[in-house]
Structure 1
Amino acid sequence: MSQAIRVAVAGASGRMGREVVKLVLTDPDLELAAAIARSAGPVDAGRMVGLEECGIYVTADLGQALAETRPDVLVDFTTPQAAMPNTELAIQYGVRPVMGTTGFTPEQIAELDKQCREKGIGGLIAPNFSIGAILMMRFAAQAAKYFPHVEIIEAHGDQKLDAPSGTSIKTAELIAQNRQELKQGNPNEHEILEGARGGYYNGFRIHSVRLPGVFAQQEVMFGAFGQSLKIRHDSYERAGYMPGVKVAVQKVMETTGMVYGFEHFLD
């Protein structure tokens, strides 16, 4: 029997972080090494997620936790502002980062890839861990070869910090690989309200909806003469992401360099 992968969870008290802690504590292939959250206080991580005590107490200092526990992998669901420094800190300690936090620029990803390779470790930046969402993105990229007129509408809860979502940006990047830049709409159109047409990407638009009661939805709409195509994915609860998180933790142990996009682990 192979040794369990030791996992540290950053953002452990958040909504996604709690699901990851629960996954790690209940999966025999994984072992909780540390739980990090700035505001949770010294609470047992098991108790925090509604399980039995596990003996791992939530700590506020990521660097100290990594130095003392030496995990194999850091799973991070924190904030866009903390994402880059947290990733660099993990790499510094030789810990493989699995980042569910979005907001990285292409330049930052390239720099993190360099740092990972210098350490001889792998990492993952994943805008979405949902296998259904990955399939939605793949199908949209394929459709763009035949339907170049496209727009993306994504909806999340009103507390989401970034817009557009990392998933929609990743979808747009995949579409752009299969589509020449084409500026859509009437060339003389005029926005009566600024931003009404959404964010501009490679000639098409991304629209972000933020409302209470909404979890995570994305629809990619394609239009052509006499027909339209809609590819949609809906997530209803955070537990649906956990099978993907486990795959990411396992695959990153076999990877060198920083990988951008969970879809690369599903081939």
Structure 2
Amino acid sequence: MAAPVTIPIVVNGACGKMGREVIKAVAQAEDMTLVGAIDKNPAVQGEDIGEVVGCGPVEVPITADLEAALVMAQSEGLGVMVDFTHPGTVYESVRAAIAYGVRPVVGTTGLSPERLQDLAEFAEKASIGCLIIPNFSIGMVLLQQAAVQAAQYFEHVEIIELHHNQKADAPSGTALQTAQMLQGLKKTYNSPQVEETEKLAGARGSTTADGIRIHSVRLPGLIAHQEVLFGAPGQLYTLRHDTSDRACYMPGVLLAIRRILPLKSLIYGLEQIL
């Protein structure tokens, strides 16, 4: 009897905080096979990624050669690349994966709208599924859906996102996505009540085209947190999501890997595949 076919997985950014969690989750998934672990840190090249992340040997050496790993993942036509790297390199990695026929599942944020559009066009021409997911937490999806409901009744809203101080981009992709979802209601928020003056530039945060203010906090000790505050006379409605362990993202990552196989274009946001 033939062995069941499993999904070949390449993890790009394998030794990062999120990459390590993905390695553990994939190693435990019966329908997935880890075929590549990409990391540029010269100190770990050639080491077994399973030993490095603490889940036991998986016989996959760490390498910096993404293209070679993509060739391995593409061999059975089912390959998926999970990318948790850096805003400065993710665009080239995703284009390379699509070119090799490997489906990218991307958690790295910081892609510009122009580059997202370019990747969407490239994926469609290649008929390759691509998932860009600012946040893999089911709880965050629920928060965003609740925020859209609340925005129908409130005219004033601000977003506060808090992350560890090794996060390179601000505001976070999740905060931007939340603001974009509220913009879908075609409203203008936070109409000025007084003429404001900032004694320090940026004290009131950044402002979207429709008036939503976003504030970014970066501190050691944080992981990933977001508040959406709605205000009206006599009341404050607060939605908050807190992450205490990056393992909370793994059900979303595994779901995205399984759902991407039949896709033929780029999809943005976990809520689109639930």
Q: TM-score, normalised by structure 2?
A: 0.94
AA of the residue aligned to 1:54: V
CA displacement, residues 134-160 of structure 1 (integer Å, 9 cap, x when unaligned): 111111111111112100011111111
Give the fraction of aligned pairs with identical amino acids, expressed as a percent: 46
Q: Once the 2 structures are TM-superposed, how far is the Cα of residue 61 of structure 1 from its aligned partner?
A: 1.5
Q: C-alpha deviations, 1:83-120, integer Å up to 9, x for none?
A: 10011000010100000000112222221111111111
- Candidates 251, 262, 265, aligned match of 2:270: 262
Q: Does 1:119 align with 2:123?
A: no
Name the structure 2 match of 1:36: 38
Maintained 8 Å contact 1:153/1:208: yes
Superposed CA RMSD in Å reads 1.4
Q: Give, in whole Å, the separation in 2 of the partners of 1:133 and 1:259.
A: 17
Specify every segment of 5 or more residues in structure 2 that has no aligned partner in the other structure, as ranges. Answer: none
Q: Tell me if the contact between 2:133 and 2:270 (Cα under 8 Å) persists in the aligned partners.
A: yes
Q: Paired residue for 1:149, among 156, 160, 166?
A: 156
- Residues 148 and 179 of structure 1 are in contact (CA less than 8 Å); yes or no, is this contact kept in structure 2? no
Query: 8 Å contact 1:148–1:182 — kept in the other structure?
Result: yes
Question: Which letter does structure 2 place at the counterpart of 1:30?
Answer: M
Match of 1:92 in 2: 99
Match of 1:56 in 2: 60
Deviation of residue 187 (structure 1)?
A: 4.3
Distance 1:224 1:254 in 2: 45
- Which of the numbers 215, 240, 250 marks the counterpart of 1:242? 250
**1:19 corresponds to:** 21
Q: Which runs of 4+ in 1 moved over 6 A?
A: none
- Can you give the 5+ residue segments of structure 1 that lack an aligned partner in the other structure? none
Describe the SS at the equivalent of 1:255.
coil
In structure 2, the residue matched to 1:215 is: 223
Q: Distance in 2 between the 1:190 and 1:164 partners?
A: 22
Q: CA deviation digits over 1:171-213, x for unaligned, max 9? A: 0000111241234343411101110000111212000011111
Amino acid across the alignment from 2:14: A
